[in-house]
Amino acid sequence: MTHYPAYRAAAVQAAPEYLDTPATIEKACRLIDEAAGNGAELIAFPEVFVSAYPYWNWTMTPVQGGPWFERLYRSAIDVPGPEVATLGAAAQAAGSTVVIGVNERDPHSMGTVYNTMLFIGPDGELLGAHRKLVPTWAEKLSWGCGDGSSLRVYDTPAGRLGGLACGENTNTLARFALLAQGEQVHVASYIALPVAPADYDMVEAIKTRAAAHSFEGKVFTVVACAALTPTIVETVAHDTGARELLQRPHSAFSGIFGPDGRLIGDGLIDEEGIVYADIDVSQEIQAKQMHDIIGHYNRFDVFSLTVHRDPKPAVTLTENDTPAGPPEPPAGITDHDVA
């Protein structure tokens, strides 16, 4: 830990080509190219940018929304797989580290889709994939739960990089699990959420969590949130109530927070765009002098946290006395684990 990267980061606030995975991958590649053209060495995309957030779970009853699940499943991708390869090629062409959310098909079950964040290195290599641990409320109707195996921090040219999806940033223990691995830069990916109860202000909810994570951990937090387009609203809204709900403003926010918990420059609300900020990892050193919760300011004689990272496959198949592991280990993933 003797290198303290300083570089420009980009948070992409954009909408997918809804449920159209090839077109969305193309759009993602275009945005990587644009952000890299503006000097970004770390480019963060929203949650499940590829290629749909299941809004129907919030606006329809489960029975109404049922058939939409198949559309989600069919638009989801395999990890690794051809779409990941295309994104990797774009990252490599840009020379940037890319974090992007996708819907991932379970390698064996036709009934389980994961909300997954991909971490791709500037050499185009897939560093890892994090499946969201618990979907939030209505999202439970569409996504399965990941296991602890993906709670990892990756050593990248953009610093020690971790990430959590949306509501996971509320989870004190998940956040600490990444900080404790030496996380220097955190990507918090979100989707636009106009469909929550009326008193839920998504912009504030995003800011509170980003500020807290940056302040507690003395890290940079890059928030990349999805935007909603009229096309998406039109696709999903099945009646007037749903259409109105989906158009509620102040539902998306992207921006970059410093290790003092404050927003750097401006954030972007609702609209599509790319926010840039300069990150200097060495600024975290002095900030930690006051409170270093993974070091001198904590008490590990009092608190002991264990994170169970063993994969939990549906079945373990052993051959010749050694476990063959889960049926389809994502062979393309290099373990940049700190342990």
CB 187 within 8 A of CB 99: yes
Q: Mask: binding to a copy of itself, 145-184, rule CB under 8 A, as x and -?
A: x-xxx-x---------------x--xxxxxxxx-xxxx-x
Chosen residue from 3, 37, 240, 319 binding a copy of itself by CB under 8 A: 319
Chosen residue from 26, 106, 155, 280 binding a copy of itself by CB under 8 A: 106
Token output for 114? 């994961």
Length of the chain: 339
Q: Give catalytic status of residue 132 as yes or no.
A: yes
Chosen residue from 85, 249, 325, 334 binding a copy of itself by CB under 8 A: 325
CA dist 176 and 201 (Å) reads: 25
Residue closest to 56 by CA, chosen among 235, 244, 247, 272: 235
Phi then psi for 219, rounded to 5 degrees? Answer: -130, 165
Token output for 12? 């992409």
Peptide bond into 51 cis (omega under 30): yes
Size of the site for a copy of itself (CB under 8 A): 118
CA distances from 258 to 170, 275, 284, 291 (A): 18, 14, 9, 15
Q: Give catalytic status of residue 47 as yes or no.
A: yes
Peptide bond into 259 cis (omega under 30): no
36/165 with CB nearer a copy of itself: 165
118/294 with CB nearer a copy of itself: 294
The H or E element that residue 43 is part of is strand 40-44
Taking CB under 8 A as the binding criterion, the range among 88-96, 109-117, 225-233, 263-271 that sits at the site for a copy of itself is 109-117
Cα–Cα–Cα angle for 73, 250, 254, rounded to 5 degrees: 70
Chosen residue from 51, 97, 136, 189 binding a copy of itself by CB under 8 A: 136
Smallest gap from Cβ 123 to a copy of itself, in A, equals: 23
The H or E element that residue 174 is part of is helix 172-179
Chosen residue from 6, 231, 312, 334 binding a copy of itself by CB under 8 A: 312
Q: How many whole angstroms from its chain centre is CA 327?
A: 25
Taking CB under 8 A as the binding criterion, the range among 31-39, 41-49, 91-99, 104-112 that sits at the site for a copy of itself is 104-112
Question: Residues of 264-284 as b/e, b for ≥16 C-beta within 10 angstroms?
Answer: beebbbbebebbbbebebeeb
Token output for 191? 């989707």
Q: Is 3 in the site for a copy of itself (CB under 8 A)?
A: no
Looking at residues 264 to 303 of the shown chain, list those that interact with a copy of itself (rule: CB under 8 A). 281-282, 284-303
Q: Give catalytic status of residue 183 as yes or no.
A: no
Looking at residues 38 to 97 of the shown chain, list those that interact with a copy of itself (rule: CB under 8 A). 57-63, 66-67, 69-70, 73-74, 78
Looking at residues 195 to 254 of the shown chain, list those that interact with a copy of itself (rule: CB under 8 A). 195-197, 199-201, 204-205, 208-209, 211-212, 215-216, 218, 245
Active site residues per annotation: 47, 132, 166
